[in-house]
Structures are given as structure tokens and as C-alpha cells.
Amino acid sequence: MKIDEIDRKILRLLTENARMSYVDIGKELNLSRVSIRERVNQLMENGIIEKFSVVINSEKVGKGVSAFFEVDCEPAHLVKVAQTLVDNPAVASCYQMTGPSTLHMHVLVEDFSKLEHFINEELYSLQGITRVESHILLRRFKSRMGLKL
């Protein structure tokens, strides 16, 4: 499916506020509610919109420590290590990367003792890990969920 400028405008509006009604989007774009609903349905059916979700402020729900990890793995253990890590509730995201680090991971925990436990008991104990480098987030300047058009 090719998207046109109207679809792009709909996507921009929904990216800013996924709860925006079809009526309000229609008013913004001078289109009917039905037309907007049909376009959004097409965008969903074609996988352009994967899902609608809520963004939760991690600090306000008690996850005050945010850390990023670069984890090198032996190739034979990569998938098993990644599967184990993504099943861990502290892991917010995990990606296989090119370059010197095999996995890039974002972890959210309540405090530094929980981070120490995660590193020592849950990360270092995995077979196949050859190197771990961690970076503690001090301040967030920008954070974006999903793709902006």
C-alpha cells in the first residue's frame, strides 16, 4: 500500500495523540469521520499502523533507574541469550546490532540494588556472554516512541 499526504497527516496526528477521534481528525483535515475511519482501517490492515499503545512514565511508576547495555555474545548462544533477556520484566527493549556489540538492551529497574542484582544474577549468569558494558541514564533530552513522518 502506498500512503498519500492525507495518510501521512493522519499518522502525524495519531502519533501525537492516538486517542484523537475520527471526527476531530476529520475536522483538522476537512474530511468526513467515515473517510478517516476507512483510511485508518486500511493503514491497520496493511500493517502501517501496528498498534495503538500507552506510553508510561517509568519514573512515576517506580522504575527510577534506566540503564543501557551493550552485550557481546558467542554466535552459537546469541538467540538463546536474547530470548532469555526479552523474557525478563526489567528489559524494556533488546536489539541485535552490527558493530562491536552484539545486543543492545535497555533496562528499567526500581533502584541501584535491583540493577546490581540484574547484572550479577541475571545477566552475568547467562552462558555465551563474553562482554557487558553498561551506561546509566542521567538525563533524557528526547525520547520518541514509534516512527514520526
Confidence of residue 149 (pLDDT cuts 50, 70, 90): low
Give the other-Cβ count within 10 Å of 104's Cβ. 15
pLDDT (tens digit per residue) in 56-106? 888 889 899 999 999 999 999 999 999 999 999 999 999 999 877 799 999
Nine-digit cell string for 78: 546469541
Which of 79, 80, 87, 131 lies closest to 119 in space, CA to CA? 131
Name all contacts of 41-49 with Cβ < 8 Å and 24+ positions apart: 42/1, 43/1, 43/3, 43/7, 43/10, 43/11, 46/1, 48/1, 48/3, 48/7, 48/11, 49/11, 49/14
In angstroms, rounded to a whole number, what is the distance separating the alpha carbons of residues 36 and 10? Answer: 8
Q: Does residue 141 surpass a pLDDT of 70?
A: yes
pLDDT (tens digit per residue) in 2-39? 999 999 999 999 998 999 999 999 999 999 999 999 99
In angstroms, rounded to a whole number, what is the distance separating the alpha carbons of residues 132 and 126? Answer: 11
Which pLDDT score, from 0 to 100, does residue 76 have? 93
